[in-house]
Amino acid sequence: MSDKNIKSINNINSIISIDPRVTREELSIVPDVDPIKDLHHWQTYEVFHQTKKGDRHLHVGSLHAPNPEMAVILAKEQFARRYKCVNLWVVSTGDVISTGYDNEDIFDTTPEKVYREAGGYKVMERINKFKKERKQST
Amino acid sequence: MKDLNEIQTTAVKDLLYRIADDQLILGHRNSEWTGLGPILEEDIAFSSMAQDKLGQSQALYQLLNQMGEKDPDTLAFTRSVDEYKCCHLVEYPIGEYDFSLMRHFLFDMSEAIRFNMLASSSFEPLAKISRKFKGEIKYHTMHAITWINQLGKGAGDSPVRIQKALDECFPLALGIFEPSDYEDILIENKIFFGEKELHEKWYDTVVPVLKNANLKIPEIKDPEISYGGRKGKHTEYLKPLIDEMTEVYRIDKDAEW
């Protein structure tokens, strides 16, 4: 914050905002709360949701919790209160091993290799067959 | 049991009012935390459980309605303060979060045992409802026990605060088990095992959890210290709550929602 945004009222520096309502509040520029300590930063957990026994668990989001027990308790209302769920997994975000976005290029595939994508030619075969049949019938 | 006779009907209705009024008032109290919870995730969980309470009370008022009482909205919103049969514990303001959590723990543990007992009631409509509530209440107690452990064994001022909350809530919680005038009728007809048995089972269940969380069980000399609610004698906190809860309803009683 630059100096021109601070005015002195009764010898206390307070915030001058473009919103006059904020200025009128005479908010101190020195925060009157403790600086956030490490303790206040709970770690995050990734939540996985299973709709049916035997189905795979799907990642549905993440949440803050101080430990795994609290994470699973809080995840229930956070992610399973509206939709059917039979089982939840929570995994500490720190335990997830990732390829990293700086390696994003390893997923690049040269365009000529589309035949490697199983869906590609199977579907095309059927589409071509369908087109051929339609052409014959008209 | 097929049909209830007159005195049995009165006994069941009295029981239903006690349970439903507890849930309605505590559900309303706990919903006061919505938007103010200590963290977002807990705010959502606590608000959602408050909604469960209101939903469950509605089902019980519905049953009362089927037994000849007025419709659920009328029962929830138009009675005078001394017609409510809730216990004093649920009436108290939300206080600090430690108080609300401890109340949630002590009350919901009693509720879980109560509905477990009622699941085998000879009065089938009530048994059926009680079985339906099982999952919701199980989560409520899991949530409560996790928090009690968390705070009792926690660092900083949390063990001191949660102990203080226990000291405040415990005598109030004994009011849950204030016997009605119909205990014998309920027990004889296997409708409900009665408040005395519920109280004993509750004590045997909550004490190990509290001790495990390093908390000290307060000694209560007068077990009837918080009695009165079941007979319509309430704390000063109930009237303002009901006034606020019914404010919108009173503006237009016939409004369609």
pLDDT digits (tens, 9 = 90+) for B33-53: 999 999 999 999 999 999 999
Mutation site for A-interface testing, chosen from B31, B39, B41 by largest number of A Cβ within 10 Å: B41
Q: Do B150 and A66 touch (CB under 8 A)?
A: yes
Percent of chain A with pLDDT over 90: 35
Give the per-residue pLDDT at B46.
97
How far is the alpha carbon of B32 from chain A, nearest alpha carbon, in Å?
Answer: 18
Q: Do B49 and A66 touch (CB under 8 A)?
A: no
Determine if residue A12 is left, alpha or beta; phi over 0 gives left, psi from -120 to 50 gives alpha, anything else beta: beta
A36 DSSP assignment: P
Q: Is B48 on the interface with A (CB under 8 A)?
A: yes
The residue ranking higher by pLDDT, A3 or A53, is A53
Six token digits for residue B101: 């959590």
Average pLDDT over residues A96-113: 83
A93 DSSP assignment: G
pLDDT at A42 over 70: yes
B168 burial via Cβ count (<10 Å: 0-12, 13-18, 19+):
middle
Which of chain A's residues have a Cβ under 8 Å away from the Cβ of B155? 39
> What is the residue-wise DSSP string for B19-38?
HHHHHHHHHHHHHTTTTTSS
Nearest to B146 among A64, A70, A81 (CB): A70
Six token digits for residue A51: 């709709």
Give the per-residue pLDDT at A1.
46
Q: Do A76 and B44 touch (CB under 8 A)?
A: no
Give the per-residue pLDDT at A120.
61
Instruction: State which residue of chain A sits closest to B143, comparing Cα positions.
Output: A73
Helix axes B238-245, B6-31, angle to 10 degrees: 80
Give the per-residue pLDDT at A30.
67
The residue ranking higher by pLDDT, A6 or B58, is B58
Nearest to B139 among A67, A70, A76 (CB): A76
Q: Is B78 on the interface with A (CB under 8 A)?
A: no
pLDDT at A114 over 70: no
Q: What is the pTM of this model?
A: 0.82
* Alpha carbons B164 and A130: distance in angstroms, whole number: 76
Q: Do B45 and A77 touch (CB under 8 A)?
A: yes
Q: Do A63 and B49 touch (CB under 8 A)?
A: no
pLDDT at A121 over 90: no
Q: Do B44 and A78 touch (CB under 8 A)?
A: yes
Closest CA to B245 of B86, B110, B105, B129: B86
Give the per-residue pLDDT at A5.
54
In one letter, which amino acid is B153? K
Q: Is B45 on the interface with A (CB under 8 A)?
A: yes
Per DSSP, the three-state class of A44 is strand
Q: Name the residue ranges covered by the structural domains of chain B.
A: 6-251
Average pLDDT over residues A18-41: 66
Q: Is B246 on the interface with A (CB under 8 A)?
A: no
Give the pLDDT band of residue A24 (cuts 50, 70, 90).
Answer: confident
A1: Cβ–Cβ under 8 A, 6 or more apart, which residues? A15, A29
> What is the residue-wise DSSP string for chain B?
-----HHHHHHHHHHHHHHHHHHHHHHHHHHTTTTTSSSHHHHHHHHHHHHHHHHHHHHHHHHHHHTT---HHHHHHSS-GGG----HHHHS---SHHHHHHHHHHHHHHHHHHHHHHTT-SSHHHHHHHHHHHHHHHHHHHHHHHHHHHHHT-STTHHHHHHHHHHHHHHHHGGGG---TTHHHHHHTTS---HHHHHHHHHHHHHHHHHHTTPPPPP-S-TTTTTTGGGT---TTHHHHHHHHTHHHHH-TT---
Task: With a cut of 70, list the residues of chain B below it in pLDDT.
Answer: 1-2
Q: What class does CATH assign to B6-251?
A: mainly alpha
* Alpha carbons B87 and B22: distance in angstroms, whole number: 7
Give the pLDDT band of residue A125 (cuts 50, 70, 90).
Answer: confident
